[in-house]
Amino acid sequence: MEISLILKFLISFAIGALIGTERERKQLKIKEFAGIRTFMLIAVFGTSSAFLSTFYPNFIVIAFLGFTAMIGLSYIATTRENEDIGITTEVTAFLTFILGALCFTDEGVQIVPILAIIITTLLAVKPYLHKFARKISQKELINTLKFLIIAFVILPLLPDQTFGPLNVFNPNQIWLMVVFISGISFAGYVLMKFVGAERGISATGIVGGLVSSTAVVTAMAARVKESEFVLRAAVFAAVVASSMMFLRVLFEVVVVNPSLIGLLVAPMLIMGILGIALGFIAWKTTNVKEIKADVKLKNPFSLKPALIFGGLFLAILFASKIADIYFGSRGLYITSIISGVADVDAITISMAILARDTISPDVAVTAITLAAISNTVIKFLIAMFFGTRKFGYLIGVIFAIIIGAGLLAVFFV
């Protein structure tokens, strides 16, 4: 017997055990028809059916029909006993059979573990998904649906070629970057909906920084204005949120132009990690560990902000190309500093794209770093003018250390 065939059956057992373990835990509250052993057998039943179909072509069809009848009878019996009309376990059983059948194919066995993990995760996080669904307003849902329709229906139809002067207007590429940046922000937005900004400064700083670090700094400044008692706790949230921006920038470049990572990883990681460390030092020096802050975060999947970002991204792309042609690297640096005031994501993506064939990697990395520093300076000004003098002073000292470290990393690391 081939070793590969044995391995396929072992993987089938494993994915059945993984899914079955989650269903077994659910039975502690509600009696279901299948637990860990049953799901293991269902997965292996699927693999065995696929294997036998190589000798008897219609066997897997007969096996699936018989399995469907068995699940149907079990559902009727379970519904009568528990008075629960949910079909999650039954649907999961069908998926487990299919995953088991896929295990027999050379292509399927590679993706089955990933699918099994995703399915188990969805089953396990049910309470959190329900909680998230209840927190999403009707307006937020409609805005998200509009954006998703436009993004994933219109995007494939947009031409993937450059138009106009300077060869920088590529409709497909521009909208793809809009979807990418909005997706990152939406991930943070979803997490914030899960944990809630009211959960405290750790959630506000770390998760809020993925959506809008500027919004977090503004909210913390307003909170300190109300009460100096939360000063250092607010400093923590503002600094950590701002530090998350550097890590976000690094992730964007990893996706858009991985060749820049060798040069960019030092300044971004140094500024990001140093900022988080300094934020924790500020947190440890205060007795206030939880504060409530009204952080105004808009749904990043709404259409208006996406179109604004797309327009800004295109404008910065044009400005950067013109600056490079007429003023060289100095022009790009000035453009990056100005652009960073408004949006660090747009200039980051622009530089990463131009570094593919227009500008040197060194220039792109320096420009991205300058944009991130420019954005950080703006957040310091927000802290100074919208918060208290002491809040602005502490933020300024920490940001100065972060910026200094980042510049040293660019020029000497």
Q: What is the pLDDT along the chain (413 residues), one digit of tens a residue?
A: 566 788 888 989 999 888 888 877 766 555 556 678 888 898 999 999 999 988 888 888 888 888 888 888 877 776 666 665 667 778 888 889 999 999 998 888 888 888 899 888 888 877 777 776 777 777 777 777 777 777 777 778 888 777 777 677 888 888 888 887 777 777 767 666 666 554 555 566 667 777 778 888 887 888 788 777 778 888 888 898 899 899 999 999 999 999 999 889 999 999 999 999 998 887 776 655 555 555 555 666 666 777 788 888 888 888 888 887 788 888 889 999 988 887 888 889 999 999 988 889 999 999 999 999 999 999 999 999 888 889 999 999 999 999 999 888 877 76
Q: What is the structure's pLDDT at 192?
A: 65
Helical axes 303-342 vs 361-386, angle rounded to 10°: 100
Residues 6+ apart with CB under 8 A from 12: 43, 44, 46, 47, 99, 100, 103
Q: What is the structure's pLDDT at 271?
A: 94
Q: What is the structure's pLDDT at 367?
A: 92
3-state secondary structure 341-395: HHCHHHHHHHHHHHCCCCCCHHHHHHHHHHHHHHHHHHHHHHHHHHCCHHHHHHH
Closest CA to 337 of 353, 352, 319, 355: 319
The domain ranges of the chain are 3-124, 138-412
Q: Note the pTM of the prediction, 2 decimals.
A: 0.70
Q: What is the DSSP letter of 32?
A: -
Closest CA to 288 of 240, 223, 378: 223
Q: What is the structure's pLDDT at 157?
A: 82
3-state secondary structure 90-156: HHHHHHHHHHHHHCCCCCHHHHHHHHHHHHHHHHHCHHHHHHHHHHCCHHHHHHHHHHHHHHHHHHH
Please state, in angstroms and rounded to a whole number, the distance separating the CA atoms of residues 300 and 308. Answer: 11
